[in-house]
Amino acid sequence: MPYAQLDEVTYHYEMAGRGPLLVLLHGFTGSVDNWRPHFPALATRYRVLAVDLLGHGRTSAPATPARYAMDAAAADLATLLARLAPEPVHLLGYSMGGRLALYVALAYPAQVKSLYLESASPGLEDEEARQQRQRQDEALADRIEREGVPAFVDFWEALPLFASQQRLPNDVRDRLRRQRLQNRAHGLANSLRGMGTGVQPSLWSRLGELRMPVHLLVGALDTKFVAINRRMAQALPQATLTVVPDAGHTVHLEQPRRFQEWLFSTSS
């Protein structure tokens, strides 16, 4: 398994295929494992690089929440890409990974050829809303450390955000649950504290800076993120928006073929 040492942190990643580099960033509680079912299809067109983000999967889980901050995580990713890819990459992020991908594209635009955001957002504009979300994330982080990962996964899977996942085949849901349970309590907790939606800077005012193509994907059942992404599409200079019927927050899991079709139809 490939690993990279970056500023006293060890990142785990996996690669497959040949061609232009497509970088895949998972969401909160996720890992490289979430993307593996897509490797055979995506590797026919891309050299795929999937990365375990800080506190997740086999990547290090630092004890200091500040190490997870968006600027630090983005700098890590930019360094990793500089090592592995001399040319700009296609960067795809889901949910938390989408927020990070957006931050990378703004901070290191020369390294990103095109940006793909699934169920992502630029953060919260309103300061009061940000502070409230930060308090909620801090309370949830404390709960994860106090009660442990299995109890947290029970809570997480019952959130309305993931209600549409209840319709997935049992084997798919079981595989996803096993992957979530492999995470460490302090890694998930510090990820919330360091790069949660409440603590990250709002990027709404900076969307107009992006000059590369940005492709947005949301599930029609995820009405909150449909509204967010419609607004994002209006603010971005070069944007496409795809709303997938009969899918919620996790399109790549709930509608895998449509996810691949979206990626292939918008690739350049």
Domain positions in the chain are 3-266
Torsion, CA 19, CA 48, CA 79, CA 71, rounded to 10: 130
Going by C-beta distance under 8 Å and a sequence separation of 6 or more, which residues neighbour residue 160? none
- Give residue-wise pLDDT tens across range 187-210: 999 999 999 999 999 999 999 999
DSSP tag of 212: S
pLDDT at 34: 97
Domain 3-266 = CATH 1.20.1370.20: no
**Are 9 and 67 contacting, i.e. CB atoms less than 8 angstroms apart?**
yes
pLDDT at 158: 95
Distance separating alpha carbons of residues 15 and 261, to the nearest angstrom = 21
pLDDT at 86: 85
Going by C-beta distance under 8 Å and a sequence separation of 6 or more, which residues neighbour residue 267? 45, 90, 114
Cβ-count burial 77-92 (b if 16+ within 10 Å, e if not): bbebbeebbeebbbbb
pLDDT at 268: 64
Torsion, CA 203, CA 207, CA 211, CA 216, rounded to 10: 100
Residue 268 burial by CB count (10 A; 0-12/13-18/19+): exposed, middle or buried?
Answer: exposed
List of the chain residues with pLDDT < 70: 1, 268
91 backbone dihedrals φ, ψ, rounded to 5°: -115, 120
